[in-house]
Amino acid sequence: MANKGIMYIDGQRVPFDGEPNVLSVIRKAGIEMPTFCYYSDLSVYGACRMCVVEDERGKIETSCSMKPRDGLSIRTNTARLLKHRRMILELLLASHNCSCTTCEKSGDCRLQELAMRFGVRKVRFGDSREESQLDDSSPAVVRDPSKCILCGDCVRMCGETIGMDIIDFAQRGYNMRVSPAFGRTLSQTHCISCGQCAAVCPTGAITIYNQIGKAWRAIHDPKVRTVVQIAPAVRVAVGEAFGLPAGTNVLDQLVTALKYMGIDEIYDTTFGADFTTIEESEEFLARLEAGGPFPMFTSCCPAWVKYLEMENPKYLKHISTCKSPMEMFASIVRKHYQEKDAQDGKTTFHIAIMPCTAKKMEAARPQFQHEGKPDVDLVLTTQEIINMIKESGIQLPQLDLEAPDLPFGLGSGAGTIYGTTGGVAEAVVRHCMPDKSRNTLRALEYSPLRGNESIREATIPVGDREIKLAVVHGLNNAQKLLKEIDEGTAYYDLIEVMTCPNGCVGGAGQPYGLKAKKQARSAGLYATDRSAPFKRAEYNPGVTSILQKLTHEQRHELLHVSYQK
Amino acid sequence: MGTTLREVIFDIGGGIKDGKKFKAVQIGGPSGGCLTEEHLDMPMDFDSLKKVGAMIGSGGLVVMDEDTCMVEVARFFMNFTQNESCGKCVPCREGTRRMLEILTRIVNNEGSLEDLDLLEDLSSTITETALCGLGQSACKPVQSTLKYFRNEYLAHVVDKHCPHCNGRKKVLQIDPELCKGCGKCMRQCPMEAISGQIRMPHVIDTEKCIKCGACWGCCPFGAIREE
């Protein structure tokens, strides 16, 4: 039975119904409780002590670790509490590398925001920080321990949601640090570059590896043709930085903005996703004929592929041989511009705008290099492209609409929903199901393929066979599923895995957002799918015409890859 | 329970050594409070001790005579709790470290009156917001000495001269001429501040040394000097 009742917050009568802690009830009452270490998608840690409240007897407790009780009366802003919060902030600032103006996180830093909110203008303690080493060894994130406030968000994210436990607390007391085991750098660990640690870091201690400079150099070089592809999840998140509600599809404004910034050709990754749908479906149908190996795993998520390589290589043969949509697209673009480059003497520079930090790692993989040059020259995250738009002074919401360029700018609705959990599986099912009527599509809308549960199962009839599908998001859930498969307690034919919670819309490259925001982005993608002119990959004329022209060998070379050693 | 402190210290414990005057008693382990002469006739039980800012805690008593500097006592116990802090919550991890910094500054006669206010502010935040019992009681020695022995803090801060501990601010050193390198002092030192090879003169690391005098007491050659 849900915990129900009435609480009194600063004298205001607030009913609660199943909220996990007093802090969420306070937030429901419209009071923005300050905190560093409480993140509603993770477990309660209670270390920052910012969310303290005072009860009727004057006892001070943290609201994040307090259970709501019927009749409980608390105050959130007494003189004592404010004094303590200011002191805690002052203590944190004293040990923090306050190089705010040049910090990657400036303007978006919770320590900065709260210090401003509580009017901490002076730090009465001397700087006694010990020197720390910057770790920029990872292709996805940069760790600067001098800015760490030891809230443990990254540690819990890496352990609880991703299930990798790459970073943890080391040493104790004042010497406590967040670090990979034995003080290694990230590149020496099994880090899968998902970047979720950076997504939850309240300060600049873990930030996304910033490559904006490289992008500008390419854009401003007259001898370089810049080609951009925009991933599905990006279009429903960029608007958030310009005051639009989460889930607003701003693809067309984004195209205009990129044109203004000087990018030559702007395409849509959903075009690549349609290739992936067709190739993956055909591979799946072929496996059905050949009898395995099952389950077949999707291969779109680079962090997931990396995880299997590092931790569970026996399943590598189960993973689809299809490249990810980004890399398929990049192969097609490379082939397309080969002749053109030779004709006009320009070099093509391929930029992929992704919601993902692991794509930076994927782009650098040896499998996706040709003649020493990567197919995707640069991966920019949503956050980086937002910064570039802001740097250019472009007011995104006021822009005219412009569609992505042809021939690679048009994707199906199925390609669009790749950006959310369940989308890849649904696209494949749409392609595999022999019944192409509108009613089957509508039935899929209400199937377990859509939703927010971390592990979802569906049984779909294909031909004379019922296929068992699973959709998983959050890598720890995928690990659970693998364990069940190992033990023989679960069987699936096809499993879609996304490392980040809620799929790509919740990627680490996206602007900061909690569960509700990520779900709004997913809803935005489904809305785009509903209004798409065609909803199945095989109805994409651009894709089918290219596939027809390719020989079997070419198709294999361009669109497939092997991760097995 | 209920026995007075006077009975424990003077009747059972036999009073102060060498006929010196009683000054303070620190009760309840490293995070207990310091009590004075006026509390000696108070019965020892949970409630009455809590009222005066001390606690029964481990039940241990540290009795101090007139030669003891109470600021140094507060610094000594803060050093202990700071070392014991696990580092999880902010007030204890950062706060006890800053408390120790300020106390060390005051003991070295480098403190200011603002430091006393800062100590009080920090103490209240750490006591009221720390996650566990260690942090919540870590400031008791500081709070109680600030309350009952404020004049000693003022001696350090305003007069820049403390009659009790300035004599002890001396540095302990080993006379290389007298030291035979037996290693006794090295084994006795609680801070591992002494290093050296056997049969060679040993050296005291003055940074680590807490001037406890353990080496001085055990040296068979009288090689430890105060400078």
User: What is the Cα–Cα distance from A486 to A473, expressed in whole angstroms?
Assistant: 19
| pLDDT exceeds 80 at position A555 | yes
Range of the domain at A443: 213-559
Residue A280 Cα to chain centre, angstroms: 22
Output DSSP code: residue B155.
I
Q: Same structural domain for residues B150 and B65? A: yes
Percent of all residues in chain A with a pLDDT value above 70, rounded to a whole number: 100
pLDDT category of residue B17 using cuts at 50, 70 and 90: confident
Is residue A565 a part of any domain in this protein? no
Q: Same structural domain for residues B176 and B139? A: no
Phi, psi for residue B197 in degrees, rounded to 5? -95, 155
Instruction: Mention every residue, 6+ apart, whose C-beta is less than 8 A from residue A264.
Output: A225, A226, A227
Which residues make beta-bridge pairs with B14?
Answer: none
Interface probe, candidates A35, A78, A84, A89, chain B, greatest B C-beta count within 10 A: A84
Q: Same structural domain for residues A404 and A477? A: yes
Tell me if A46 sits within 8 A of A52, measured CB to CB.
Answer: no
| Residue of chain A whose alpha carbon sits nearest to that of B115 | A124
CB nearest B90 (choices: A92, A125, A126):
A92
Shortest CA distance to A266 belongs to which of A375, A394, A378, A406? A406
Q: What is the CATH number of the domain that holds A22?
A: 3.10.20.740
Q: Same structural domain for residues A449 and A528? A: yes
Is residue B98 a part of any domain in this protein? yes
User: What is the Cα–Cα distance from B181 to B190, expressed in whole angstroms?
Assistant: 18
Is residue A223 a part of any domain in this protein? yes
Kindly list the residues from chain A whose CB atom is less than 8 angstroms away from the CB atom of residue B135. Answer: none
| Residue of chain A whose alpha carbon sits nearest to that of B117 | A124
Is residue A85 a part of any domain in this protein? no
Structure tokens that stand for A460 in this block: 């779909």
Is residue A383 a part of any domain in this protein? yes
Shortest CA distance to A510 belongs to which of A312, A106, A232? A232
B110 Cα to chain A: minimum distance (Å): 14
pLDDT in tens, A259-297: 999 999 999 999 999 999 999 999 998 998 888 788 999
At residue A303, what is the residue type?
Answer: A
pLDDT in tens, A459-501: 888 878 888 999 999 999 999 999 999 998 989 999 999 999 9
pLDDT of residue A51: 95
Q: Say yes or no for a CB contact (<8 Å) between B91 and A49.
A: yes
Q: Identify the residue with better confidence: A209 or A440.
A: A209
Q: Which of A343-352, B88-97, B218-227 has the lowest mean pLDDT?
A: B218-227
For A311, counting Cβ atoms within 10 Å of its Cβ (0-12 exposed, 13-18 middle, 19+ buried), the class is middle
| pLDDT exceeds 90 at position B28 | no
**Of the candidates A174, A208, A242, which is a domain's last residue?**
A208
Q: What is the CATH number of the domain that holds B147?
A: 1.20.1440.230
Q: Same structural domain for residues A332 and A442? A: yes
Q: Say yes or no for a CB contact (<8 Å) between A47 and B129.
A: no
pLDDT in tens, A44-56: 999 999 999 999 9
Q: Say yes or no for a CB contact (<8 Å) between A174 and B130.
A: no
Q: Same structural domain for residues A310 and A354? A: yes
Is residue A82 a part of any domain in this protein? no
A516 Cα to chain B: minimum distance (Å): 29
Number of domains in chain B: 2
Q: Say yes or no for a CB contact (<8 Å) between A87 and B121.
A: yes
pLDDT category of residue A250 using cuts at 50, 70 and 90: very high
Is residue B165 a part of any domain in this protein? no
| pLDDT exceeds 80 at position A435 | no
**Of the candidates B159, B184, B215, which is a domain's last residue?**
B159
CB nearest B131 (choices: A47, A92, A126):
A47
Q: Same structural domain for residues A472 and A499? A: yes
Q: Same structural domain for residues B35 and B122? A: yes
pLDDT of residue B98: 94
Touching check for B9 and chain A: CB below 8 Å? no
pLDDT in tens, A24-39: 999 999 999 999 999 8
Q: Same structural domain for residues A112 and A258? A: no
pLDDT category of residue A132 using cuts at 50, 70 and 90: confident
**Of the candidates A208, A224, A245, which is a domain's last residue?**
A208
DSSP of A226-291: EEEEE-HHHHTTGGGGGTPPTT---HHHHHHHHHHHT-SEEEEHHHHHHHHHHHHHHHHHHHHHHT
Kindly list the residues from chain B whose CB atom is less than 8 angstroms away from the CB atom of residue A179. Answer: none
pLDDT of residue B170: 66
Q: Same structural domain for residues B16 and B97? A: yes
Range of the domain at B25: 5-159
Kindly list the residues from chain B whose CB atom is less than 8 angstroms away from the CB atom of residue A173. Answer: 82-87, 93
Examine residue A15 and say whether the peptide bond preceding it is cis (omega within 30 degrees of 0).
Answer: no
Q: What is the CATH number of the domain that holds A154?
A: 3.30.70.20
Q: Same structural domain for residues B174 and B202? A: yes
Interface probe, candidates A88, A122, A129, chain B, greatest B C-beta count within 10 A: A88
Touching check for B134 and chain A: CB below 8 Å? no
Tell me if residue A465 falls in helix, strand or coil.
Answer: strand
pLDDT category of residue A380 using cuts at 50, 70 and 90: very high
Q: Angle A423-432/A269-290 helices, nearest 10 degrees?
A: 60
Which residues make beta-bridge pairs with A227?
Answer: A265, A350
| pLDDT exceeds 60 at position B168 | no
Q: Say yes or no for a CB contact (<8 Å) between A48 and B90.
A: yes
CB nearest B93 (choices: A84, A128, A173):
A173
Is residue A19 a part of any domain in this protein? yes
pLDDT of residue A503: 93
B115 Cα to chain A: minimum distance (Å): 9
pLDDT of residue B226: 72
B120 Cα to chain A: minimum distance (Å): 12
Instruction: Look at the alpha carbons of A106, A112, A116, A121 in this order and tell me if their dihedral is positive or negative.
Output: negative
Interface probe, candidates B88, B113, B123, chain A, greatest A C-beta count within 10 A: B88
Touching check for B84 and chain A: CB below 8 Å? yes
| pLDDT exceeds 80 at position A123 | yes
Tell me if A450 sits within 8 A of A430, measured CB to CB.
Answer: no
B114 Cα to chain A: minimum distance (Å): 10
Residue in this structure with the two tokens 């920029």, named with its chain if needed: A136
Interface probe, candidates B84, B125, B127, B132, chain A, greatest A C-beta count within 10 A: B125
pLDDT in tens, B95-129: 999 999 999 999 888 899 999 999 999 999 999 99
Interface probe, candidates A43, A65, A124, chain B, greatest B C-beta count within 10 A: A124
pLDDT of residue B166: 60
User: What is the Cα–Cα distance from B20 to B32, expressed in whole angstroms?
Assistant: 24
pLDDT category of residue A163 using cuts at 50, 70 and 90: very high
Q: Same structural domain for residues A218 and A201? A: no
Q: What is the mean pLDDT of chain A?
A: 91
Mean pLDDT of A495-520: 92
For B67, counting Cβ atoms within 10 Å of its Cβ (0-12 exposed, 13-18 middle, 19+ buried), the class is middle
Is the ipTM above a cut-off of 0.90? no
Mean pLDDT of B123-152: 93
pLDDT category of residue A513 using cuts at 50, 70 and 90: confident
Q: Same structural domain for residues A380 and A463? A: yes
Q: Same structural domain for residues B71 and B114? A: yes
Q: Same structural domain for residues A225 and A198? A: no
Is residue B164 a part of any domain in this protein? no
Q: Same structural domain for residues A165 and A229? A: no
Structure tokens that stand for B158 in this block: 């305003």
For B157, counting Cβ atoms within 10 Å of its Cβ (0-12 exposed, 13-18 middle, 19+ buried), the class is buried
Number of domains in chain A: 3
B224-226 vs B172-174, strand pairing mode: antiparallel
Output DSSP code: residue A447.
S
Is residue B183 a part of any domain in this protein? yes
CB nearest A91 (choices: B88, B90, B124):
B90
Q: What is the CATH number of the domain that holds A453?
A: 3.40.50.1780
| pLDDT exceeds 60 at position B167 | no
Is residue A84 a part of any domain in this protein? no
Q: Say yes or no for a CB contact (<8 Å) between B129 and A149.
A: no
Instruction: Mention every residue, 6+ apart, whose C-beta is less than 8 A from residue A222.
Output: none
Is residue B68 a part of any domain in this protein? yes
- Record the pTM: 0.87
First-to-last alpha carbon distance for chain B, in angstroms, is 46
Q: Same structural domain for residues B189 and B129? A: no
Q: Same structural domain for residues B38 and B127? A: yes
**Of the candidates B159, B180, B215, which is a domain's last residue?**
B159
Kindly list the residues from chain A whose CB atom is less than 8 angstroms away from the CB atom of residue B86. Answer: 172-173, 176
Total beta-carbon pairs less than 8 A apart between chain A and chain B = 81
Is residue B39 a part of any domain in this protein? yes
pLDDT category of residue A62 using cuts at 50, 70 and 90: very high
| Residue of chain A whose alpha carbon sits nearest to that of B80 | A173
Q: Same structural domain for residues A336 and A190? A: no
Mean pLDDT of A109-126: 93
B104 Cα to chain A: minimum distance (Å): 13
Structure tokens that stand for A95 in this block: 């040990």
Q: Same structural domain for residues B102 and B55? A: yes
**Of the candidates A164, A191, A208, which is a domain's last residue?**
A208
A235 Cα to chain B: minimum distance (Å): 39
Q: Say yes or no for a CB contact (<8 Å) between B94 and A176.
A: no
Q: Which of A196-205, A212-221, B191-200 has the lowest mean pLDDT?
A: B191-200
Mean pLDDT of A393-411: 91
| pLDDT exceeds 70 at position A253 | yes
What residues of chain A have any CB closer than 8 angstroms to a CB in chain B?
46-49, 52, 60, 80, 83-84, 87-88, 91-92, 94-95, 124-126, 128, 149-150, 169, 171-176
Q: What is the mean pLDDT of chain B?
A: 88
Tell me if A70 sits within 8 A of A6, measured CB to CB.
Answer: yes
Q: Say yes or no for a CB contact (<8 Å) between A174 and B82.
A: yes
pLDDT of residue A1: 55
Q: Same structural domain for residues B24 and B110? A: yes
| Residue of chain A whose alpha carbon sits nearest to that of B99 | A125
| pLDDT exceeds 70 at position A565 | no
Q: Same structural domain for residues A253 and A175? A: no
Exposure string of A339-378, with b = 16+ CB inside 10 Å and e = fewer, is: eeeeeeebebbbbbbbbbbbbbbbbebeebeeeeebbbbb
At residue B19, what is the residue type?
Answer: G
Is residue A83 a part of any domain in this protein? no
Is residue B80 a part of any domain in this protein? yes
Q: Say yes or no for a CB contact (<8 Å) between A176 and B121.
A: no
DSSP of A346-408: -EEEEEEEES-SHHHHHHTSGGGEETTEESS-EEEEHHHHHHHHHHTT--GGGSPP-PPPSSS
pLDDT in tens, A520-543: 999 999 999 989 888 888 888 888
Mean pLDDT of A151-173: 93
